[in-house]
Amino acid sequence: MKILLNKPYITSKEEKYIVEALHSARHSGNNAFGKKAIDHLKGKYGFSEIFLTPSCTSAMEMGALLANISPGDEVILPSYTFSSTVNAIVIFGGKPVFCEIDSETLNIDVTKIEELITSKTKMILPIDYAGISCEIDAIMDIANKHNLIVMQDCAQSFGGFFKGKPNGSIPHLAAFSFHETKNMNAGGEGGGLVVNMPEQIQRAYFMQEKGTDRRLVLDGVKSKYSWVEKGSSYLLSDILAAGLLGQLECEDDILAKRKQVTEVYYDVFTDYKNAGKLNIYIPQKHIQTNHHAFWVVFDTSENRTKFMSRLREIDIHVYIGYLPLHSSPMGIKFGYKAEDLHITESIASRVVRLPFYAGMADEGLEYTKVNMQKVLKEIYG
């Protein structure tokens, strides 16, 4: 049996909605299905405003534009993330200031943020690794003290909560991914930008629509639209929004399946953690996961390699996770060296991301469990 790292999960709804969208007279962004998906999101999660975008990458670019990231502005973010997080600010001339991660959550270490703030700092850009929220309230406290904007990269954490509040509802800006590898898949690619700054919402509409005030024409305020702002095309096609709506309406069922995967992995790895052989994330009371992913930090990179290669031999796909950005070719161009962030480098050399998708609950979970148990026994006895 082949177990992939990710596999899109399809419910009974997407096909019906996508066909309906195809036969409608409107396929472009912010049409009937986009509006329904937005209403659903605002109704369920109480976001002030959410813009559906072609990806999380473009949502963060739109957020950086909205935050006026300009050449020379410094942005504090973890190095342990995807290139999209950093590119969102680099394309506008922003300078990344990489911060260490916490070795239990792999999210930004909030105790190390303040020492990185200078007169040029404009934004803090944390991520929610594997669906576990960063310490967003402490980050907001720091940001408010220093008058900074927080954009939370919630690519992986849609549907989770921090202290009872939905991920994305606390910072100034938050970006979700609805890519096929995420819990909610808009049909391959998709994203959303939450704007929790009421005074910026109209500007965001203009930026999403190529810098025009087309929104005012749609709202019947003006008869012709014109170029009023900087902007680009940050719209999700209505055909993909139809797919997203189908998934959103089945979110609870998808989550229940993903929870079963999490539980099986805790079953496999907890004894090894208790014996001090490896590390796994222990759930914290104030954080409600969306069961996006499961990762293991091995004691040595050699044991990681053994685990990965034994599973790969039998077609169970496990993955190393992110390569730190600070020691990547672009990070080095920004003046960083691998030694600058010891914890990030050490964790990145030992972490493994396990196969994780809703459909595993129906097929493949037991097979994966048995084989992982076998390999762990071979490694640790």
Ligand X SMILES: Cc1ncc(COP(=O)(O)O)c(C=O)c1O
Q: Decide the pairing of beta strands 121-124 and 95-99.
A: unpaired
Q: Are 72 and 92 in contact (CB under 8 A)?
A: no
Residues 87-146 that bind ligand X (CB under 6 A): 127
Residues 361-380 that bind ligand X (CB under 6 A): none
Q: Are 306 and 318 in contact (CB under 8 A)?
A: no
Question: Smallest distance, Å, CB 244 to ligand X?
Answer: 12
Q: Which is nearer to ligand X, 170 or 175 (CB)?
A: 175
Sign of the alpha-carbon dihedral angle for 326, 330, 336, 339 = positive
Q: Which is nearer to ligand X, 234 or 272 (CB)?
A: 234
Question: Smallest distance, Å, CB 190 to ligand X?
Answer: 7
Stretch that binds ligand X, among 62-70, 80-88, 165-173, 290-298 (CB under 6 A): 80-88
Structure tokens, 191: 């994203």
The site map against ligand X for 147-166 (x = CB under 6 A) is ------x-xx----------
Q: Are 348 and 323 in contact (CB under 8 A)?
A: yes
Interface residue with ligand X among 81, 157, 200, 368 (CB under 6 A) is 81
Q: Which is nearer to ligand X, 129 or 206 (CB)?
A: 129
Q: What is the largest CA-CA distance in the chain?
A: 74
Q: How many DSSP H helices and E strands does the chain contain? A: 13, 13
Structure tokens, 79: 């190095």
For residue 223, the SS3 value is coil
Question: Smallest distance, Å, CB 13 to ligand X?
Answer: 21
Q: Which is nearer to ligand X, 56 or 66 (CB)?
A: 56
The site map against ligand X for 167-196 (x = CB under 6 A) is ----------x-x-----------x-----
Full DSSP string of 170-210: SSSEEEEE--TTSSS-SSS--EEEEE--GGGHHHHHHHHBT
Q: Does 310 bind ligand X (CB under 6 A)?
A: no
Q: Which is nearer to ligand X, 56 or 132 (CB)?
A: 56
Stretch that binds ligand X, among 50-58, 102-110, 344-352, 363-371 (CB under 6 A): 50-58
Q: Are 336 and 326 in contact (CB under 8 A)?
A: yes
Structure tokens, 190: 């998709």
Judged by the rule CB under 6 A, the positions of this chain that interact with ligand X are: 55-57, 81-82, 84-85, 127, 153, 155-156, 177, 179, 191
